[in-house]
């Protein structure tokens, strides 16, 4: 609180201005707050106007306080790509989005995954439930046509899709095949870029785009192999998209969780060793759950995070800070 004084008749009136002062969508810097407060404080008031001054001041102060919504994503529409089952990181995110009030569109890859995903979509009361295999021409485009027809807008989208052929993933990067590398890059990275391009025209009022990465994009993680360079490309794409979409109010983030037991992670060789290492080395001495990842991602989807973009956000108990 900043305490200032102004003259009221012969007396001295003391009053305070709360630190987080905002005007409309702009936040005033400390210097601007001090300048504004000083100008108000320097005004001279008669004894008769003292009461009116205090009343106006209280109204001014209360109008600057931050108001938190009970459901900060209420009225917002979001797309979730990549739920495989109830253990998926994408499902943890979808749960959090829904808990914060969002309406959801959910996709499944094929008839086999539909068996696992459809009950989850019903549980989340998803308004749109469609098949989407990003390798199939026209699938992703059809999803966005449905979003445009049913909602006419989109506020956020989560891309939680990654794949590399097993023989390439389990071998050395140097030994990866051209076909395997291109497949991993297309599904894990370029499909996110395609999703962003399709989402852009539906985000007329701004929005947020998310994808999932891993620490192996930044540092060498044993057995992560081919996916390391692929995720590094993905994180770079996030930064460039954030730059390109920023003027339209569209934020872009890569969410980088610690290792979590998911269907996708099961394809990584020696994954149990990664889990043990993460739990022992992370400062919080604990593994991350899909709920932790979901809540962090959902918070970034709210308007409270509208000036945060282009980040790789680690949700790993601090594992990434340990040398």
Per-residue DSSP letter, 313: E
Contacts of 199 (CB under 8 A, 6+ apart): 79, 144, 154, 157, 207, 209, 250
Is 214 catalytic? The answer is yes
Query: Which residue is catalytic, options 215, 224, 314, 319?
Result: 224
Give CA separation, 121 vs 103, 143, 159, 260, 314, in Å.
11, 15, 16, 22, 27
3-state secondary structure 149-195: HHCCCCCEEEECCCCCCHHHHCCCHHHCCHHHHHHHHHHHHHHHHHH
Angle between the N-to-C axes of helices 178-185 and 227-245, in degrees from 0 to 180, rounded to the nearest 10: 40
Structural tokens at position 17: 């201005």
Sign of CA dihedral 59, 62, 63, 69: negative
Is 224 catalytic? The answer is yes
Query: Which residue is catalytic, options 108, 214, 314, 319?
Result: 214
Q: Which residues are catalytic?
A: 214, 224
């Amino acid at each position: 609180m900043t305490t200032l004084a102004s003259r009221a008749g012969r007396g001295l009136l003391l009053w305070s201005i709360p630190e987080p002062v905002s005007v409309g969508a702009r936040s005033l810097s400390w210097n601007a707050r001090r300048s504004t407060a000083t100008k108000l404080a320097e005004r001279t008031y008669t004894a008769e106007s003292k009461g009116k001054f205090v009343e106006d001041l209280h109204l001014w102060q209360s109008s600057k306080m931050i108001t938190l919504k009970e459901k900060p994503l209420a009225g917002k529409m979001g797309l979730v790509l990549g739920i495989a089952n109830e253990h998926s990181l994408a499902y943890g995110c979808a749960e959090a989005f829904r808990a914060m009030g969002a309406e959801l569109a959910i996709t499944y890859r094929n008839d086999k995954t539909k068996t696992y995903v459809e009950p989850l979509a019903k549980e989340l009361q998803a308004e749109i439930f469609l098949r989407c295999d990003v390798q199939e021409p026209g699938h992703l485009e059809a999803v966005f046509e449905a979003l445009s027809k049913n909602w006419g807008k989109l506020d956020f989208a989560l891309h939680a899709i990654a794949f590399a052929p097993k023989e390439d993933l389990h071998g050395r990067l140097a030994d990866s095949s051209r076909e395997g590398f291109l497949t991993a890059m297309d599904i894990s990275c370029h499909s996110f870029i395609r999703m962003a391009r399709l989402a852009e025209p539906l985000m007329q009022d701004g929005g947020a785009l998310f994808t999932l990465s891993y620490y192996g994009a930044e540092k060498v993680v044993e057995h992560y192999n081919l996916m390391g360079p692929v995720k590094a490309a993905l994180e770079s794409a996030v930064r460039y998209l954030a730059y390109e979409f920023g003027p339209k109010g569209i934020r872009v983030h890569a969410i980088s969780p610690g290792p979590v037991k998911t269907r996708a992670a099961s394809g990584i060789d020696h994954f149990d060793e990664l889990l043990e290492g993460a739990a022992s080395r992370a400062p919080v001495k604990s593994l991350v759950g899909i709920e932790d990842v979901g809540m962090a991602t959902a918070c970034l989807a709210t308007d409270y995070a509208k000036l945060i973009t282009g980040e790789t956000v680690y949700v790993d108990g601090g594992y990434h800070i340990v040398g």
